[in-house]
């Protein structure tokens, strides 16, 4: 059973209105033993293009979590962030990680060549096959920069937004043959990324937002989780990526069977940036 949600957004993130305290109360109601807040920090996000930025006062954030930890001793509340990786933000990102006592840092790729693949113009410029490939290439480049983080977030997040998958989801289908082909075509770069993460001592997360997005799979796809294991990976956190209380621990009941099938008997929580293995 998974009793820890390690990827949660609140109104410190520009794309959520949910108060932290509401998330804590919901987590207690669900019987979770721990949660980790991971609000967005995306340095140099092209705010002028998208009309949104992903920055907040980290001091206020840490203080708010500290207060909730005192008010709700029945649950462990960890302090994390989701750092948007980008080749040109290494310096502020390293300073941030060094100057605060975070429990956990997720590193995620949200931008490709400074474009957000959430929007259709990304797919219009790159096309589907190249758009997916470029996401993995940028991921690898980001990992070579030397960022300080613990697990890599939503590994195949790009699949959520590519036109074939969106079309399948809109008609309540699961794009199985598309996933299989895409994983096959990108197998080499996916393996390079996994090997790089393992060599850096970093884990991956199982992000159940994929189920919420109706992909029929978590992010990453089970094949990538199994490959990570086969290549020697051991650090696997579980996160819902909830931006609203109703999605906290979303689809967590599906995870133990997936983990077992992929060769895992435990999952990982981070406290003070150190991994703790928990039995499934």
Residues in contact with Zn ion by CB under 5 A are 82, 108, 241
Smallest separation, CB 36 to Zn ion (Å)? 11
H runs (alpha helix) in 80-146: 90-99, 120-126, 128-143
Residue pair 113/71 in contact (Cβ under 8 Å)? The answer is no
Structure tokens that stand for 197 in this block = 């993460």
| Spatial separation of the C-alpha atoms in residues 243 and 15, rounded to whole Å | 8
Smallest separation, CB 70 to Zn ion (Å)? 26
Residue 78 bridge partners (DSSP): 36
Smallest separation, CB 15 to Zn ion (Å)? 9
CA 96 to chain centre: 19
Q: Output 131 or 153, the one with its CB closest to Zn ion.
A: 153
Q: Output 82 or 227, the one with its CB closest to Zn ion.
A: 82
Smallest separation, CB 117 to Zn ion (Å)? 12
Minimal CB distance residue for Zn ion: 108
Beta-sheet strands, E only, within 85-214: 104-108, 151-152, 203-207
Q: Output 156 or 241, the one with its CB closest to Zn ion.
A: 241
Q: Output 5 or 82, the one with its CB closest to Zn ion.
A: 82
Smallest separation, CB 209 to Zn ion (Å)? 7
Residue pair 251/244 in contact (Cβ under 8 Å)? The answer is no
Q: Output 53 or 280, the one with its CB closest to Zn ion.
A: 53
The 8-class DSSP code of residue 252 comes to G
Residue pair 42/54 in contact (Cβ under 8 Å)? The answer is yes
């Amino acid at each position: 059973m998974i009793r820890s949600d390690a990827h949660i957004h609140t109104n410190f993130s520009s794309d959520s209105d949910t108060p932290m305290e509401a998330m804590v109360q919901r987590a207690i109601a669900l019987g979770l033993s721990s949660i980790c807040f991971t609000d967005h920090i995306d340095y140099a996000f092209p705010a002028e293009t998208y009309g949104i930025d992903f920055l907040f006062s980290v001091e206020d954030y840490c203080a708010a979590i500290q207060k909730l930890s005192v008010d709700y001793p029945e649950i462990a509340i960890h302090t994390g962030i989701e750092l948007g990786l980008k080749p040109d933000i290494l310096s502020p990102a390293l300073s941030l990680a060094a100057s605060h006592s975070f429990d956990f840092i997720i590193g995620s790729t949200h931008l490709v060549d400074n474009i957000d693949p959430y929007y259709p113009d990304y797919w219009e410029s790159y096309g589907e096959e190249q758009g997916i490939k470029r996401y993995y290439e940028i991921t690898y480049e980001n990992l070579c920069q030397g960022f300080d983080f613990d697990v890599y977030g939503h590994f195949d997040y790009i699949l959520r937004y590519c036109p074939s998958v969106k079309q399948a989801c809109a008609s309540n289908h699961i794009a199985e043959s598309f996933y299989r082909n895409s994983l096959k075509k990108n197998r080499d770069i996916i393996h390079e990324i996994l090997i790089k993460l393992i060599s850096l001592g970093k884990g991956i997360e199982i992000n159940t937002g994929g189920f919420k997005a109706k992909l029929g799979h978590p992010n990453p796809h089970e094949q990538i989780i199994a490959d990570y294991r086969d290549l020697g990976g051991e650090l696997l956190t579980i996160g819902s990526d909830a931006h609203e209380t109703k999605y906290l621990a979303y689809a967590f009941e599906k995870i133990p069977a997936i983990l077992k099938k992929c060769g895992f008997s435990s999952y990982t929580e981070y406290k003070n940036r150190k991994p703790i293995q928990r039995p499934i």
